[in-house]
Amino acid sequence: MVLLLALLSGCSSGTATPSAGPPSPGTAASSAGTPEPSAAGTSASHVPIPTKTPATSPPAPAWTVGAAPLPLRPDGFGQVQRTPKALRDRQLPTKDLLPPPPDGRFHATVSRIDPRTRRTMGESWSPRCPVGLDDLRLLTMSFHGFDGRAHTGQLIVNASVADDVVHVFRTLFRVRFPIEEMRIVTTADLEAPPTGDGNDTAAFVCRATRRQTTWSAHAYGLAIDLNPFMNPYHSGDLVLPELASAYLDRSWHRPGMVLPGDAVTRAFASVGWTWGGDFRSVQDLMHFSETGR
């Protein structure tokens, strides 16, 4: 699915490439009955021959994320289009990439960036980045999906804010704030064409602020984009994700939205983070940062 981290304001990049993730999503087996033995005195020729039950196809998914690249604008973003009906009240199921918490409760671990995690990060980090791997931490945390179930996701953040981020996501879990997916940024995300339907909650990615030469707060692991599709970036004629225009109407309250004064903004404010929904120059509803930008 399209990862927005490479496209956003204080959380957006002018030099970053758009990113996407894999499509999210079965089969019902056909069966035939076994003939009943014929009753005494009944000819076997009178025993009904069972008919084979046709195989049934699984229902088509409401939406396949990342399946349809968008035409590009001159600035390299995808063309902003009307939100498809299936995504106007988006509540897609979470595809588990990690085992969910067995007891359904909140769990969190804070780990250094080991070789396996470094390989997964791919080109989202390089030696030219303003923060070294030793100063980053991998957070593995529980979250509630739109399916109402507990899942396990991961974020990479600066070591200096790791405990604060765990505190925030513990609060989001307690209030059952739904998150569609939460995974670290990969090379595949950075290289994928824009599809305008990404919704990955993510943090670290080494890139500049959009249309600027200064590093984004994401490049330091000091920013998080939360449910980007429900909380889009908006500046002029640009909306990111490009299919999320229906979520610019903040008077229509739908699950996963961040709203002024809600449990989400209060949780981040409690650790001193600011919300992009309070920015004056742009509307960056997904963006929370420790740096204020």
pLDDT digits (tens, 9 = 90+) for 101-118: 999 999 999 999 999 999
For residue 32, pLDDT over 90 is answered with no
Confidence of residue 3 (pLDDT cuts 50, 70, 90): very low
Residue 193 lies in a domain: yes
What is d(CA 219, CA 209) in angstroms, rounded to the nearest whole number? 9
- Average pLDDT rounded to a whole number, residues 36-57: 46
Question: Where is pLDDT greater, at 49 or 207?
Answer: 207
Where does the pLDDT of residue 204 fall: very low under 50, low under 70, confident under 90, or very high at 90 and above?
Answer: very high
Residue 35 within any structural domain of the chain: no
Tally of domains within the chain: 1
Does 46 have pLDDT greater than 50?
A: no
**pLDDT at 293 (0 to 100):** 87
Residue 163 predicted with pLDDT over 60: yes
> Confidence band (pLDDT; 50, 70, 90) for 20?
very low
41, part of any domain: no
Q: What is the mean pLDDT of residues 72-95?
A: 96
Structure tokens at 70: 């968008």
Looking at residue 200, what is its pLDDT? 98
- Residue 29: its pLDDT value, please? 36
Predicted local distance difference test score (pLDDT) of residue 208 = 66
What's the CA gap between 128 and 118, in Å, rounded? 15
Rounded mean pLDDT of the chain? Answer: 85
Q: Side by side, which strands form the sheet with 287-289?
A: 223-225, 287-289, 274-275
Q: Domain span at residue 184?
A: 4-19+70-289
CB-based contacts of 265, cutoff 8 Å, min separation 6? 258, 259, 275, 277
Please state, in angstroms and rounded to a whole number, the distance separating the CA atoms of residues 258 and 245: 15
Q: How confident is the model at residue 214 (pLDDT cuts 50, 70, 90)?
A: confident
How far apart are the two ends of the chain, measured CA to CA in Å?
25
Query: Does a structural domain hold residue 43?
Result: no
**Backbone torsions φ then ψ of 190, nearest 5 degrees:** -70, -30
108 domain-assigned? yes
Identify whether 29 is part of a domain.
Answer: no
Q: Three-state DSSP class for 110? A: strand
Residue at 40 is within a domain = no
Tens digit of each residue's pLDDT (9 = 90 or more) over 221-249: 999 999 999 999 999 999 999 999 999 99
Tell me how far apart the alpha carbons of residues 122 and 140 are, in angstroms, rounded to a whole number. Answer: 18
> Collapsing DSSP states into helix, strand and coil, what is residue 191?
helix
- Say which amino acid occupies 124: S
Q: What is the DSSP letter of 282?
A: S
Cα–Cα dist 267/188, whole Å: 31
Q: Please report whether residue 34 resides in a domain.
A: no
Query: 287-289 and 283-284: which strand pairing?
Result: unpaired
